[in-house]
Structure 1
């Protein structure tokens, strides 16, 4: 070394996801129940578009770079057509991927396909393969594509259907410039909302819904049963908000046991257990987010514990538990205790601690497959059984004192989780994924924690089914289409 130099930082504290690691069981169960749809795949037409690109690339013998350019240009064309066709009637459906990035150019009346398709800054998306990445696993699970470094036709791909439905996009992708007024009339055939009335959408609907569809993965039957269950709920209830309204039916009430169709669907009790467990998962996430938000500057752990305690009523743990709402009817049917608690005006820490206590009570009330799906791996820290034991052991003491202990438990767990995810980089520095850093007995945060619930993919599945013709959203509510009735009957 010729002169002194600065070394690389020894520790890089960066934002991380799932700081308490309470989500794993729910996420694993949802992956089993809804294979082929994820939280980032809301559009049926990207499944068929990527199939179209794969079929064309295979037939034309395109190299990977050429296929990549075709895919990006085709996604730009789809975003442009969908932007031109967008209307208030489509507000329920997310915009086509990349449409927001192109919105400024599209509002000017035209867009350069070549400039927009270039990866990086100024393009419609930075990823070299566009939006294929988020959809690739789902398309492979469904058999639309085969695994590989570029889109390759899979055993379930119907090349004729995707060409008949979306083939015009390849012509648009070959254009240098697209004028909004010229492509607007094409929206009725090519928009992300229009797949339900096109051959590519009908083919995808059969692939998703038919129990006799071969080669769609080891868990295809669970997906098909899930779709049948959701369609039955839509057909028998007023569903305005897809995930919210259907989630309530799945979690609470007698419908799953008394409806002749729902009672015969094997995954129905599994869904009940998963949705109920997700209330507890969401409670931990909300509670932890609230705690992290209290850390301004350097805060001692004990002071954070005191802030939490001050939000709670000055009662014993036993009195707190006795104040919980009823969780089941006289016939053993789950009542919407968690749902109702979150409609109250109590402080967030009180509400979410009550939701956790309700979940702990359900561990002893549920039975059979509902209980198995609710509990998952047994005895894990912060799981419903753990919460139940923790509360029972502290019944005689004050709730505020118990809450102080809980803060220390959560801070210690967050540090263990972050260290378990930490990675040493090639330059010797340490990457630590956490938003809340602990030094000695002091805490400081680098950013706020999210508090949203774990996605159960219900909304995304509903959107995919609506854009391939199985469901329909009209006049502020959902319904089953004629095609949907034929496929899920």
Structure 2
């Protein structure tokens, strides 16, 4: 135990940081209100730990006073030490996470805005499971089927009464564009060699990489070939899903996803509350590579060849990579020189990489939220499909 927490020899510790993983654990605990940091010290938060739960952890926490702990002592530490679910812990976390009292009742004035927002997200996911859980999709796709496309967001009485539903539609729609950029960038970097000079690339060679995969014809023609974004009566259609089903790894599929995001960014396409989240609540003008930026490219390139747009997208990605790298520029204390945190570098006008870029989607934390809900007994899996339990419907008020 002492060695694992040795602040003088961090290389032997379980973490190279003096406070270990407190940033990760403490961040969520602070948001939940179970912990507060005052004068640099940890203090009980606004949601005080109840006595039964404190007693549950006493045997385990008492071991922290010892420099050496045997396996026998650890086994005798009780449920907390073994990670066995406890009703004392589950009941309290259910109240904190769903903003309810011990009887499962939500009284809005007893909770802060962050608590009510968290409860709203749980309710949205719960209602999505009620409506589409039988389709056998994972939590995130079930939520997309409910709030992003179709009419559920506005016609369902539960969802329509939750203001945060619009925010989730905007976020998940924006998520398609972010994922498209990540996959396109990762594919571009994958085509570049290492600093040893094997397959390093000039900017023109990188432009040619995407140009070779672009179809003939104009950008206007490419736009006309996109799946429909709306039905005749104004409902959002799953154009993004249709494109991804054709092959999300193909660079031009991701370019088409960016074009769809750009068209959705136009005024009037999305309701104002959805569009505000889709574009970013604090934005006042187009930001680098965001949907409004891509829409500007559409307007500039609509009558030009798709090849020209492909070359421009490569230039924009390289420029953004440079901006991000310079923003992370730091002095290296070991050498006194400057250190750039980037996997892509340029030398003598040729690009080389020190590693590949990730192409996975940015996490929305919806799968984790669904997992929490299942651990708390709010959700369950039956016959391979997600369902809301009886207590889940009562606590989250998902029935009307």
Alignment CA distance shift 1:294-1:217 (3 Å): farther
Is contact 1:243-1:459 (8 Å) kept? Answer: yes
TM-score (normalised: structure 1): 0.69
Cα distance in 2 between the residues matched to 1:224 and 1:157 = 19
Alignment CA distance shift 1:347-1:477 (3 Å): closer
Deviation, structure 1 residue 480: 2.5
Total equivalences in the alignment: 373
| Residue in 2 that maps onto 1:139 | 29
Alignment CA distance shift 1:448-1:180 (3 Å): farther
Deviation, structure 1 residue 331: 2.0
Cα distance in 2 between the residues matched to 1:451 and 1:193 = 36
**1:387 and 2:277 matched:** no
TM-score (normalised: structure 2): 0.83
| Residue in 1 that maps onto 2:325 | 418
**1:366 and 2:270 matched:** yes
Deviation, structure 1 residue 219: 2.5
| Residue in 2 that maps onto 1:407 | 314
Alignment CA distance shift 1:250-1:313 (3 Å): same
Residue of structure 1 aligned with 2:336, choices 408, 411, 428: 428
Higher relative contact order (CA 8 A, sep 6+): 1
| Residue in 1 that maps onto 2:173 | 276
Residue of structure 2 aligned with 1:484, choices 379, 385, 392: 392
Deviation, structure 1 residue 476: 3.2
Secondary structure of 1:461 counterpart: helix
Is contact 1:363-1:375 (8 Å) kept? Answer: yes
* Cα deviation code 1:117-141 (max 9, x no counterpart): 7686676555554544312022112
Secondary structure of 2:351 counterpart: strand
**1:456 and 2:364 matched:** yes
Is contact 2:60-2:81 (8 Å) kept? Answer: yes
Deviation, structure 1 residue 265: 0.4
Secondary structure of 1:472 counterpart: strand
Superposition RMSD in Å: 2.9
Cα distance in 2 between the residues matched to 1:436 and 1:348 = 21
Q: Extract unaligned runs of 5+ from structure 1.
A: 1-112
| Residue in 2 that maps onto 1:219 | 114
Is contact 1:255-1:262 (8 Å) kept? Answer: yes
Cα distance in 1 between the residues matched to 2:81 and 2:131 = 32
Residue of structure 2 aligned with 1:444, choices 342, 352, 356: 352
| Residue in 2 that maps onto 1:74 | none
* Cα deviation code 1:8-44 (max 9, x no counterpart): xxxxxxxxxxxxxxxxxxxxxxxxxxxxxxxxxxxxx
| Residue in 1 that maps onto 2:211 | 309
| Residue in 1 that maps onto 2:259 | 357
1:87-486 map, 5 Å = 127-148=17-38, 149-170=40-61, 176-178=69-71, 192=83, 194-195=85-86, 198-210=87-99, 211-212=106-107, 217-238=112-133, 240-296=137-193, 297=197, 298-345=200-247, 348-364=250-266, 365-376=269-280, 377=283, 378-425=285-332, 428-473=336-381, 475-486=383-394
Deviation, structure 1 residue 166: 4.2
Cα distance in 2 between the residues matched to 1:334 and 1:449 = 32
Deviation, structure 1 residue 164: 4.8
Is contact 1:207-1:213 (8 Å) kept? Answer: no
* Cα deviation code 1:54-87 (max 9, x no counterpart): xxxxxxxxxxxxxxxxxxxxxxxxxxxxxxxxxx
Deviation, structure 1 residue 308: 1.1
* Cα deviation code 1:376-428 (max 9, x no counterpart): 22322211122112022212221112211221222122112211221234563
Cα distance in 1 between the residues matched to 2:57 and 2:388 = 24
| Residue in 2 that maps onto 1:30 | none
* Cα deviation code 1:132-156 (max 9, x no counterpart): 4312022112221111545422221
Secondary structure of 1:411 counterpart: helix
Is contact 1:166-1:200 (8 Å) kept? Answer: no
Secondary structure of 1:295 counterpart: coil
